[in-house]
Amino acid sequence: MKLKILHIFIIVFFLLIGISYNNSQAYPIVLFISETIKKNVENDFAFSISFEGLNFNLLLLELLIVLIFMLWSLVVKNNILKLISVVCMFCLWLKNFVFLDWIINSSIYFWSSLPYLILTIIYIFILVKRIKKT
């Protein structure tokens, strides 16, 4: 039960990571997701994967896939699958930190990610310990 709560907190803290691009105010990832979906609805779902005009559809797709995988692994009682989902989310975080350096403020992204990173490390440690026991 404690592991499920930790899993949920990891998802919540990931969604609360602040993103600031072009020196604007920092907004949480969850707001980025809702604004990108809103923009797609207004444009009749004219989905494009280019970064032209700050089109974030590809980033939104990555986020949604990882979040759905995280939620699905929460329901499944398989520690290896949970470990894979958390590692996938961390890889997405790392990819955004490294490859979006040209547009986001990396220091805000990193410092707002500390609760997520700490919980992720604790969660991975607990899962690896449980997997070794079995």
Residue 121 has pLDDT above 80, yes or no: yes
CA 4 to the chain's CA centroid: 17
pLDDT at 54 over 60: no
**Burial class of 125 by CB neighbour count within 10 A (0 to 12, 13 to 18, 19+):** exposed
Can you state the percent helix, strand and coil of the chain, rounding each to 5?
Answer: 70, 5, 25
- Quote the pLDDT of residue 44: 67
pLDDT in tens, 24-46: 788 898 988 888 888 777 776 66
The model carries a pTM of 0.86
Confidence of residue 55 (pLDDT cuts 50, 70, 90): low
Provide, rounded to the nearest whole percent, the portion of the chain with pLDDT above 70.
90
Q: How confident is the model at residue 112 (pLDDT cuts 50, 70, 90)?
A: very high
Q: Please tell me the least confidently modeled range out of 59-68, 84-93, 98-107.
A: 98-107
Average pLDDT, rounded, for the chain: 87
pLDDT of 113 > 80? The answer is yes
- CA dist 73 and 64 (Å) reads 14
Integer Cα distance of 134 and 130 in angstroms: 7
Question: What integer pLDDT is reported at residue 49 of this predicted model?
Answer: 59
Higher-pLDDT residue of 23, 46: 23
